[in-house]
Structure 1
Amino acid sequence: MRDEEIIELYFKRDERAIEETDNKYGDYCASIADKILKNELDVEECLDDTYLRVWNVIPPTRPEIFRIFIGKITRNLAFDRYEKFHAKKRGGGNIEEVLDELQECIPANHNVEQSILANELSSIINDFVKNLPEKEALIFVGRYFYTEDISAIGKRLGMTNNNVSVTLNRIRAKLQKRLLKEGYLAS
């Protein structure tokens, strides 16, 4: 079924929308959640939460690219779930490693002003990624959206682990420079 048809089922409040979403994107969403949660039961619960969230936001929202829309919801719910269950345990996990890598160039949300500016920051980062060369964008999104291991990215793109790491360092430096220019980081 085409995405437009699935979205129309949501607008008609037809419960088949969830079934069709699962048929078309269940494996994709499970893959996203599994890279973050690493637990089959948590992944299943995350998928259930994803479908409920999609049901609750469509309508009124009409996503332009349904795959990205549902993938982002899954990713955010998986991060929330991970954070909830690992709040007291720091270190040793891929999520902590990914977040630590970005910490130097992404400002923390410690106050109301930062929370208000989060949408603008998100737009700047999206623009930054769109303007990266394709291979760099794939590396950045693979690491920081899908939380892929460096070795998985290297294997997928035919690169050595060291080459991926060096590329990520360079991309983070470019991002940091952009955020300094935009006034999101103090120099």
Structure 2
Amino acid sequence: MVSSYGYMNHQSDQYYIARVLAGETNAFSFLVARYQNLVYTVVYRVVRNREVAEEVAQDTFIKAYKSLSSYRGEAKFSTWLYTIAYRKSLDAIKKEKHVMSTTLIEEISEGEVGLVNDALSNLQAKERKKIISDSIMQLPEDEAVIVTLYYFEEKSIKEITKIVGLTMDNVKIKLFRSRKKLYSMLKHHILPEINSNNGRAI
């Protein structure tokens, strides 16, 4: 017999939203459980501080709960939620007067991209995840979020434009540039034999 919790835990976002709006406030906890890790990841990629990220993630869900009646379902709930998280993250940066980091783009050939992918595939999943996460954290905050949403949350370009408030062309450009930067950083992490040959593969 499936418990009522197990049954509810597999319902759609819209199901929980309807329950909350009908006065069943506890149903919101299912949405929090479903998205808390992903919201924290998006926020942390912007604010770069664990304590601040936890606070902003919490504020995101409070804001989402209070604003739930204004959610019209025109975008996915996750897209709407990440938009709140991203804006609150930018507010936190402004409060801390944090300056966005910049990373020099190093040219990387498609052949080197293939070598990086091969090297990544040979790593243990945990180690691979850490190296990629560490490299993403070296990207400027807006690019780190775009990469996270596109490659890890599998958001479309259109959805990302809603979240970060940029045009589709801008998102595409940032995605292209950040991918090059990311592979360049990954190359330095895992391919020392390429680095020691002035960026040329052996």
Which of these residues, 76, 84, 89, is aligned with residue 73 of structure 1? 84
Preserved contact between residue 36 and residue 57 of structure 2 (Cα < 8 Å): yes
In the other structure, the counterpart of 2:45 is 35
How far off its partner does 1:22 sit?
1.5
SS at match of 2:15: helix
* Structure 2 equivalent of residue 19 of structure 1: 29
Mark the CA change 1:28 to 1:91 in structure 2 (over 3 Å): closer, same or farther.
closer
Conserved? CA contact 2:43–2:89, under 8 Å: yes
Contact 2:45–2:141 under 8 Å retained in 1: no
The one-letter code sitting in structure 2 at the alignment partner of 1:125 is T
Cα separation, 2, equivalents of 1:149 and 1:74: 26
Q: Is 1:54 the counterpart of 2:61 in the alignment?
A: no
- 1:151 corresponds to 2:162: no
The change in CA–CA distance for 1:95 and 1:11 in structure 2 (over 3 A counts) is farther
Partner of 1:125: 167
Shift of 1:71: 0.8
Alpha-carbon distance between aligned partners in 1 of 2:51 and 2:18, rounded to the nearest angstrom = 30
**Cα displacement (A) at 1:154:** 8.0
Per-residue CA deviation, residues 88-130 of structure 1 (Å, 9 max, x unaligned), is x54657799567xxxxxxxxxxxxxxxxxxx9xx5x814x46x
Who is 1:139 aligned against? 175
How much has 1:137 moved relative to structure 2? Answer: 7.3
Shift, 1:33, TM fit? 0.4
Deviates more, 1:65-74 or 1:35-44: 35-44
Alpha-carbon distance in structure 1 between the residues aligned to 2:29 and 2:71: 19
Q: Is the 8 A contact 1:10 1:59 kept in 2?
A: no
% identical aligned pairs:
13
Alignment map for 1:107-122 (pairs within 5 Å): none
8 Å contact kept, 1:7–1:62 = no
Q: Residues of 1 paired with 2:41 and 2:92: CA distance?
A: 15
1:56/1:151 Cα in 2 relative to 1: closer, same or farther (>3 Å)?
A: same
| Alignment check: 8 A CA contact 1:18 1:51 kept | no
**1:40 positional shift:** 1.5
Q: CA, structure 1 residues 68+43, in 2 after alignment: closer, same or farther (shift >3 Å)?
A: same
Deviation of the 1:47 alpha carbon: 1.4
With 7-16 and 36-45 compared, the bigger mean Cα shift is at 7-16
Does 2:39 match 1:3? no
The verdict on how the C-alpha distance between 1:55 and 1:83 changes in structure 2, with shifts beyond 3 A counting, is: same
Q: Any conservation in 1 of the 2:46–2:141 contact (CA below 8 Å)?
A: no
The separation in 1 between residues aligned to 2:81 and 2:180, in whole angstroms, is 22
Give the paired residue count: 121
